[in-house]
Structure 1
Amino acid sequence: MRAVMLKRRKSRFELHEDGVVHELNGIRSYAAFADIEDLYLFAGGSTAMTGMINNLAYRTGADQPWIWATGELKRFDEFMDEFRSRYLEYRMPVLTQKLADGERVTFRYISSGDVYKKRLFGNFLNFKTQELALSAQGLHVDGVTWPGASLKCMNQNDWTERLTIKDAAGTTVFSCIGTGILSFDLFANMIDDEMNQAG
C-alpha cells in the first residue's frame, strides 16, 4: 500500500508499509520507520495557539536534517495518522529490545515555554532539547531515577495540553506539553507499559 501526498515547492511524500520516501526537486530519500529517532508533531500557522497539530517533522538522528511535512499536503491528516501508526508499529519493538538488552532509551523534549514561543514566532525546527530516558532501572529525569514501580499515573490535560507523570505519593515526576516530547506516541506507550509491568 502506498499513499502519495503532494506539497508546494515540488515536494512530495510516499508512505510505504515500513518507511517513508521524501522527494524534493527530483532527489529522493528513504527513511525506515524503525530507524527514525525523532518524530516532532507541532502546531503552526493561523491555528497555532489552539495546539492543533498541523505539522510533522522527522529525522533519523540528532545530527541529521529534519524532513518537514505541513498541512499544505493533500490529505495531510490521513498521512499523519498513518505515519504515526506505522512509526509506532515499527519503532517500538526496536526500543523495547534495547531495554531488554539493558540499554537506555533516550527521548528528547522541548520545554513548554519554547513550545509556546514556536507557536508565536515560528522558526519551528530551530530549538534546543532536553533529555529523559527509560532503562531497566526506571525513568531518568534531570539526574534523578524514578523506579518503574514508583510510577503510578500518567495524565494529559486536554485544556493545558500538559502531560504529567506522578508517583504513588502524588509527586510530579515529569511534566511537559505533550507535543513538546519528540516521538510522543512512543514515549507515552513505553511509559504506559512500564507502569503496567510494575503494577
Structure 2
Amino acid sequence: MAGIATPLLVAAGGSLADHPLATIIAAVLCFAGLGLAVAWKTLEPKVVLALHDRGVVIHYSRTKQDDFVPFAHMADLYLYRTGQQTGLVNGLAFRRDAESPWVDVRDNLGDAFRLRGAIIEGQLRERGPLTLRALEAGEGVVFHMVSDDDRHARRQGKAGQGIKATAFYLSPLGVEFEGLTIPLHEIASVDEGTTSGSLRLLDERGQTLWGVHYLSLFSADLFIVLMRTLIESRHYGLGGVTSNKSY
C-alpha cells in the first residue's frame, strides 16, 4: 500500500517521470511487501492444535480441515528430547494407531509444556479405563517401543516420523513379545529409575525380568499404571482378570 501511495502523493496528479526517486522507492516498497507476503504464507503454521476436554482438535491450515482425536483413541504417545538439552523432554507426538500419522507437540507451538501434560493426563483418564476393561475381559493391549539407537537418532535429528517401532502386548498372561512371555505371576514390581530413565519389571528377589528406557516406550505412563494395577490385583486376590487371547 505504501509503495502505491508514495508516488501518487509525490506526483500529485503529475507525471511519475518527473519524480524518479519516488518511483524507485515505490518499487522497493512493493517488492518488499511481496516478499513479506510470501514469507508470511510460507511460515504460516501448517497444523494448529486446540485442546478440548475429551481430546485434541487438529486444524490443518493448508487444507482448512479439522480432525478430532479423542484421548481414548490415542494408542501411542511418544515423549522425546531434541537437541542437546539435558534431562528435558521438549517434544511429544501422538497417534491413533501404528497406521496413523504422528502429530507433534513441540515447544514452538504456544504453551506446548501445558499441552503435553494435558495430553498425557487425558490419555490416562480416558484411555486408561478402556484398556483396563479390555484386560479384565482377557484381551491384550498393544504397546510399542523403539531401540535406544533409534531414540538417540531422533534426538539428534537423524530420524524422522518413519522411525521403526516394535509391538508387544500387555495381557492377563503377562508381557508378551514375539517368542517370549514374561508371566504376570513372576512380576513383583515396576521400578522407574529416576536418574537413568530406565523402566524395569522386577521379580520378588529384585532381579530384572525386562527393562526399557522410559523414552523408548510409547505411552509409558499408561503402561506403568496398567502394570501396577495387574500386579496389585494378583497380589491382593482381587480377580477379574482372566486369559482370553482373542488378539
TM-score where L is the length of structure 2: 0.72
Q: Are the equivalent residues in 1 in contact too, given 2:83–2:156 (CA < 8 A)?
A: no
Report SS of the residue matched to 1:174: strand
Within the alignment, does 1:29 sit opposite 2:67 as a pair? yes
Report SS of the residue matched to 1:121: coil
Within the alignment, does 1:163 sit opposite 2:199 as a pair? yes
Shift of 1:35: 1.1
Shift of 1:61: 1.4
Within the alignment, does 1:45 sit opposite 2:90 as a pair? no
Shift of 1:142: 4.5
1:44-63 superposed matches below 5 A:
44-47=82-85, 50-63=86-99
Task: Give the one of 60, 63, 77 matched to 2:113.
Answer: 77
1:90 and 1:30 mapped to 2: Cα distance? 15
Within the alignment, does 1:187 sit opposite 2:216 as a pair? no
1:123-156 CA distance string (max 9 Å, x none): 3422111222111212224422222221112212
Report SS of the residue matched to 1:45: coil
2:222 and 2:90 mapped to 1: Cα distance? 19
1:72-126 CA distance string (max 9 Å, x none): 1221111111111111100011111111221111110011222122212343422
Task: Give the one of 28, 41, 51 matched to 1:15.
Answer: 51
1:9-66 CA distance string (max 9 Å, x none): 253211111111011212211111111111111111342xx24211111111111111
Q: Match for 1:123: what amino acid?
A: A
- State which drifts further: 80-89 or 137-146: 137-146
- Rg bigger for which structure? 2
Name the counterpart of 1:137.
Answer: 173
Within the alignment, does 1:120 sit opposite 2:151 as a pair? no
Q: Are the equivalent residues in 2 in contact too, given 1:141–1:174 (CA < 8 A)?
A: no
Q: Are the equivalent residues in 1 in contact too, given 2:82–2:157 (CA < 8 A)?
A: no
Task: Give the one of 93, 97, 102 matched to 1:66.
Answer: 102
Aligned-pair Cα RMSD in Å: 1.8
- State which drifts further: 103-112 or 141-150: 141-150
1:57 and 1:121 mapped to 2: Cα distance? 15
* Percentage of matched positions with identical amino acids: 26
2:217 and 2:44 mapped to 1: Cα distance? 27
Q: How many residues align?
A: 191
TM-score where L is the length of structure 1: 0.88
1:170 and 1:113 mapped to 2: Cα distance? 27
2:219 and 2:181 mapped to 1: Cα distance? 21
Report SS of the residue matched to 2:189: strand
Which structure 1 residue ranges, 4+ long, deviate > 4 Å from structure 2?
A: none
Judging changes above 3 Å, is the alpha-carbon distance between structure 1 residues 169 and 131 closer, same or farther for their aligned structure 2 residues? farther
Judging changes above 3 Å, is the alpha-carbon distance between structure 1 residues 142 and 170 closer, same or farther for their aligned structure 2 residues? farther
Task: Give the one of 104, 108, 116 matched to 2:144.
Answer: 108
